[in-house]
Structure 1
Amino acid sequence: MNNLFSLAKSGLSVAQSALSVVGSNLTNGMSDTYSRRSLVIGELGGMTTGNGFYGYGATVTGVDRAYDAFANKQLRGSVSNWASLNGRMEQLSDIDNMLGDESDNVSVSINNLFKSMATLSATPDDGPARSSVFSSLGVLTQRFNDSGKRLTALEKSTNTNIETSVKEINSISDQLAEVNKQLERVQAQNGTPPADLLDQRDALLEKLSEQIGIDVTENSVSGRVDVTLQDDRPLVFGENASKLQATASESDPDRIVVSYVDSNGTTTPVNEASITKGRLAGLFKFRSEDLELAKNELNQIAFMMASRMNEQHRLGETPAGVPGGDLFSLPPMKAVANAGNAGGGTLDAISVTDYTNVKSENYSIDFDGTNWNVMGEDAW
């Protein structure tokens, strides 16, 4: 009779535990960070008699967590790829909105100018036609200036987004290091890492992969994870987290660059080309390719058009016979000194002797001790 009571008691205890697990699954089923649990039931033991083996009932031997390391790795990779493309797309949409407005963009203003100039060429002495050309010139100038300001503002917002992403990466890394610490402590005490901490760990890894591409190595015993960047530098190692740092570039103070800070506090620049996944990668790619191209193309169109029209206008005369002058005034060209320059050379002025050779790219100016040398971006 006592054995029957013991069997019933163990069965009820297991059933109660099973209901708790089912209830937890139902309650947290809508949570994106929750992994389904299942009860692991084993025999409580028993005794062997002449008539065979008699069990003492059932007991809970553990709680399994539905987890697939390979699937999680694939998920993190997909999240990183999506975040990279999405981060770039968000910024590109701003350029598209700027250039796609048919009522307010450079292309429309250029077409309107050419139309008014065609009308003037048919009747050069017509006052209203001349006024229309000058009005179109003024509108085009304003469009160039407005577009340049909007691209500059977009560059600043991209810098801000890069700084925000770096802060998020550092914050998540610190949280992961703390979770690692708790996992090691609990494993040492109980032998099994708790499922809620493992869920928290995986949620943080997914958030981190959204910001930057990572590789993860998991300790199968404690559940601790070590995280490295795509260039193999450690970001989280056990209870320690390294840092990323966003600062102004030495060569261009208007450009934010990212550096890696190791455990000794040594700072080294991050090669942007090595970051190919995550939101940070999308921001880097947008800035170095899309935004840079838009700025350079806009600047070249404005410079070439103004220079060519000034050249042509100087060949003409006013109705009174006065030689023509410049239609457009171009701002003086400026060079930004690299903060790391060690020499004492100074650059007083920059001028273009042949505007037809100017390309839509950035230029570098170096002083070799005797001469100044100008190189296009392709020669860097």
Structure 2
Amino acid sequence: MAGMLGIGVSGLLAYQRSLQTVSHNVANANTEGYTRQRVELGTNIPEFAGGGYLGTGVSVRSVERVYDDFLVGRVQSYSSGTSHAQSFAEQVSRIDELLADPDVGLSPAMEGFFSELQSVANDPSSIAARQSFMSQAEILVDRYAYNNQRLEDLRSQNNKQVQAAVTEINGLATSIAALNRDISLAPGNSPPNDLLDRRDVLLQQLSEKVSISTVEQENGAMNVFIGKGLSLVRNFESNEVQLSRNEFDIRQFEASIDFGAGSVNEITDQISGGELGALFDFRDQVLNGTQNALGALAVGFADSFNAQHNLGQDLNGALGTDFFSVPGLEVRNSRANTGTATIAATLTDSSQLDGDEYQLSFSGGGYTLTNTSDGSTETFGGLPQTTSHGFSLDISAGALNNGDSFLIRPGRRGAQDLALSITAPDEVAAAAPVRTAIDALNNTGNATITPGVVNDTSNLPLGADIVMQYDGTDMNVISGPAPWNGVSFAYSDGATVTALAGLEFTISGTPAAGDEFRIENNTNGVGDNRNALLMSDLQNQSLMSNGTASYTDYYGGVVADIGVVANQAQLTQSAQEGLLEQAKNSRDALSGVNLDEEAANLLKFQQAYQAASQVIVASNNMFQSLLSALRG
């Protein structure tokens, strides 16, 4: 009877714990991160009773989570990927919308600029047309500045988000380390399930900020690593992720882990996944390149337009000057430099500019120029040096020490610093500075000469007219200033003449011996539109990307590249969200609380509890019967 009573009591206690666990499951059915628990029951050690072993009841071995490391690991991994994809897609979409916006994008402003320039070409003497063109030029400059400022706003926002993400990472790491201590020191043989759930929630939240890997220790603590195995949490201690300023640009954050005792590891390049990885990827792979490319277009456009404008003549008869102020090329010294040198980068060929950045390193008396985008290098023994990237390098001041380095960003300030150099409508050089003529009174042949094109104004305006005379075979300059006086060239009907330095023209037809042709200053050429037409035609020429793209093509390529990245980011986001949903469903199918199942368990354990109580009642009845028999 005593054994029967003990068995009944053991059952009563076991099913009481089971009912308590089921109730706990039901109560936490909607608690974030809660893992369904179940009581693990086991038979007690049997007793030998002569003829055999008799059972002694049941006991609660432990209360376990219904848990699968693999499924939880998948959720953490896909959480990191989804958070990265969502954040990256959101950031890229902002640039995509900016560049493609018909109201604030560059394309409409560029089209308006060349449209108004064509109006000047149609009526070069019109002050109203010139004023309208200058107004559109100001709009274009402002549009470059506006787009650049929007990108700077995104950079500022990116920095704030990086700071916020790092703060959250450090807070989560501290909380995980504290939970490690609580879990490790928890009394009893059963795991502290609710503490483990809380830690899993924190680990998932951490994985949404940055990609992590975990290793569980024998004491129950969870070590957490980021990057290439760098410890963020070890047992009961956490290391802090810190932000420092980039060695070249104080506006740009870099991440590192402080292990104490002066041991700091930079981890920016190692961070992947999660919101922080997305923020760094967006900055380094999209934002920097877009801003550089936009600036490179501004520099290339201003430089090539100036080159043609300088070959013209304004409404006052003066030679054309720079229409735009061409932005300088940015060079930043490393804060780790020990030398005093300052490096200057000078534009040499704007068609070679792109959105890349270059790091110049000095070592052993030599220089290495590395493209930070693709890793390609160019080496040279000294400065000054003209590179193959559209700029030259030279030491403008100071001296170099071994290990000194510099970051060259040819296009970074282009859109920001672009400005107009002229402001008056009459300064627009729409005319050509020279014109041609034939001696109509004395020429007996039928040859004609085109108005001419100017390629170099260094010897203009002309000190005297250039007079060419045909001798039956050759054209000879019989009078005129240096360097043209005395020049002779064979006549070829319809061929472009390039023998007169800086000037091009075509003589067609059959001249007679003694016929003369004249090149003279374009005095009072207010109705001349030749240079305006040449400037207008710049929009159709391939002046960017090493002579393979027009302004529109180049900008369209930047917009298209961003569009491709944005579209791919959206596809990646959708795919990652689908994978995360599947992983959560798989985890929840195993670990989630099913209220129907818990209701069935509640009924089952309630019946078992009642049955165990009846065993106790029966045992008591038998005991009372025995006592009555003994008293009788």
Q: For residues 153-209 of structure 1, what are the alpha-carbon distances to aligned partners after superposition, in whole Å with 9 as ceiling and x for unaligned? A: 2112212222222222222112111111122212xx423331011111211211121
Amino acid at match of 1:356: S
- CA–CA distance in structure 2, aligned partners of residues 235 and 268 of structure 1: 12
Distance 1:238 1:118, change over 3 A: same
The residue number in structure 2 matching 1:225 is: 222
Of residues 232-241 and 43-52 in structure 1, the stretch that sits farther from structure 2 once superposed is 43-52
Distance 1:4 1:365, change over 3 A: closer
- Is the Cα–Cα contact under 8 Å of residues 232 and 239 in structure 2 kept in the other structure? yes
Of residues 115-124 and 279-288 in structure 1, the stretch that sits farther from structure 2 once superposed is 115-124
The residue number in structure 2 matching 1:184 is: 184
The residue number in structure 2 matching 1:203 is: 201
Give, in angstroms, the shift of residue 17 of structure 1. Answer: 1.8
Q: For residues 79-120 of structure 1, what are the alpha-carbon distances to aligned partners after superposition, in whole Å with 9 as ceiling and x for unaligned? A: 111122222122112212322321111122112222222333
- The SS at the match of 2:207 is helix
The residue number in structure 2 matching 1:277 is: 273
The residue number in structure 2 matching 1:339 is: 335
- Where does 1:18-57 land on structure 2 (aligned, <5 Å)? 18-49=18-49, 53-57=53-57
Of residues 278-287 and 44-53 in structure 1, the stretch that sits farther from structure 2 once superposed is 44-53
Amino acid at match of 1:279: E
- Is the Cα–Cα contact under 8 Å of residues 176 and 202 in structure 2 kept in the other structure? yes
The residue number in structure 1 matching 2:497 is: none
Distance 1:372 1:140, change over 3 A: farther
Of residues 55-64 and 304-313 in structure 1, the stretch that sits farther from structure 2 once superposed is 55-64
Q: 2:243 aligns with which of 241, 246, 268?
A: 246
- CA–CA distance in structure 1, aligned partners of residues 362 and 122 of structure 2: 51
- The SS at the match of 1:217 is strand
| Number of aligned residue pairs | 375
- Is the Cα–Cα contact under 8 Å of residues 300 and 358 in structure 1 kept in the other structure? yes
- CA–CA distance in structure 1, aligned partners of residues 134 and 364 of structure 2: 47
The alignment's TM-score, normalised by the length of structure 2, stands at 0.55
Q: For residues 325-376 of structure 1, what are the alpha-carbon distances to aligned partners after superposition, in whole Å with 9 as ceiling and x for unaligned? A: 22222344442221111012235x5432333333322234556798998665
The residue number in structure 2 matching 1:67 is: 67
Distance 1:342 1:39, change over 3 A: same
The residue number in structure 2 matching 1:58 is: 58
Distance 1:368 1:20, change over 3 A: closer
Give, in angstroms, the shift of residue 47 of structure 1. Answer: 3.6
- Is the Cα–Cα contact under 8 Å of residues 333 and 342 in structure 2 kept in the other structure? no
- The SS at the match of 1:121 is helix
Q: For residues 222-273 of structure 1, what are the alpha-carbon distances to aligned partners after superposition, in whole Å with 9 as ceiling and x for unaligned? A: 321112223112221111222221011122111111112124331122251x
Distance 1:266 1:97, change over 3 A: same
Distance 1:38 1:192, change over 3 A: closer
Tell me if 1:157 matches 2:157: yes
Give, in angstroms, the shift of residue 42 of structure 1. Answer: 2.3
- Where does 1:1-380 land on structure 2 (aligned, <5 Å)? 3-49=3-49, 53-186=53-186, 189-219=187-217, 221-272=218-269, 274-347=270-343, 350-365=345-360, 376-377=371-372, 378-379=376-377
User: What percent of counterpart residues are identical?
Assistant: 28
- CA–CA distance in structure 2, aligned partners of residues 72 and 365 of structure 1: 47
- Is the Cα–Cα contact under 8 Å of residues 345 and 367 in structure 1 kept in the other structure? no
Give, in angstroms, the shift of residue 217 of structure 1. Answer: 0.9
Give, in angstroms, the shift of residue 136 of structure 1. Answer: 1.6
- Is the Cα–Cα contact under 8 Å of residues 210 and 274 in structure 2 kept in the other structure? yes
- Is the Cα–Cα contact under 8 Å of residues 180 and 235 in structure 2 kept in the other structure? yes
Gaps of 5+ in 1: none
Of residues 76-85 and 160-169 in structure 1, the stretch that sits farther from structure 2 once superposed is 160-169
- The SS at the match of 1:59 is strand
Amino acid at match of 2:34: Y
- The SS at the match of 1:361 is coil
Amino acid at match of 1:241: S
- The SS at the match of 1:193 is coil
- CA–CA distance in structure 2, aligned partners of residues 74 and 368 of structure 1: 47
- CA–CA distance in structure 2, aligned partners of residues 333 and 296 of structure 1: 11
Which structure carries more relative contact order (alpha carbon 8 Å, separation 6+)?
2
Q: For residues 103-148 of structure 1, what are the alpha-carbon distances to aligned partners after superposition, in whole Å with 9 as ceiling and x for unaligned? A: 1111221122222223333333344332332222111110100111
Give, in angstroms, the shift of residue 73 of structure 1. Answer: 1.4
- The SS at the match of 2:61 is strand
- CA–CA distance in structure 2, aligned partners of residues 48 and 259 of structure 1: 66
- CA–CA distance in structure 1, aligned partners of residues 70 and 106 of structure 2: 51
- CA–CA distance in structure 1, aligned partners of residues 117 and 51 of structure 2: 112
- Is the Cα–Cα contact under 8 Å of residues 198 and 223 in structure 1 kept in the other structure? no
- The SS at the match of 1:245 is strand
Distance 1:265 1:178, change over 3 A: farther
Amino acid at match of 1:318: D
Amino acid at match of 1:185: L
Of residues 368-377 and 198-207 in structure 1, the stretch that sits farther from structure 2 once superposed is 368-377
- CA–CA distance in structure 2, aligned partners of residues 106 and 28 of structure 1: 56
Amino acid at match of 1:379: T
Q: For residues 266-313 of structure 1, what are the alpha-carbon distances to aligned partners after superposition, in whole Å with 9 as ceiling and x for unaligned? A: 1122251x3222222111111111111211110011111111111111
Distance 1:173 1:379, change over 3 A: same
RMSD: 2.5
Distance 1:367 1:317, change over 3 A: farther
- CA–CA distance in structure 2, aligned partners of residues 233 and 199 of structure 1: 24
- Is the Cα–Cα contact under 8 Å of residues 243 and 255 in structure 2 kept in the other structure? yes
- The SS at the match of 2:342 is coil
Distance 1:369 1:45, change over 3 A: closer
- CA–CA distance in structure 2, aligned partners of residues 89 and 299 of structure 1: 24
Give, in angstroms, the shift of residue 5 of structure 1. Answer: 4.5
- Is the Cα–Cα contact under 8 Å of residues 43 and 59 in structure 1 kept in the other structure? yes
- CA–CA distance in structure 2, aligned partners of residues 355 and 366 of structure 1: 23
Amino acid at match of 2:188: N
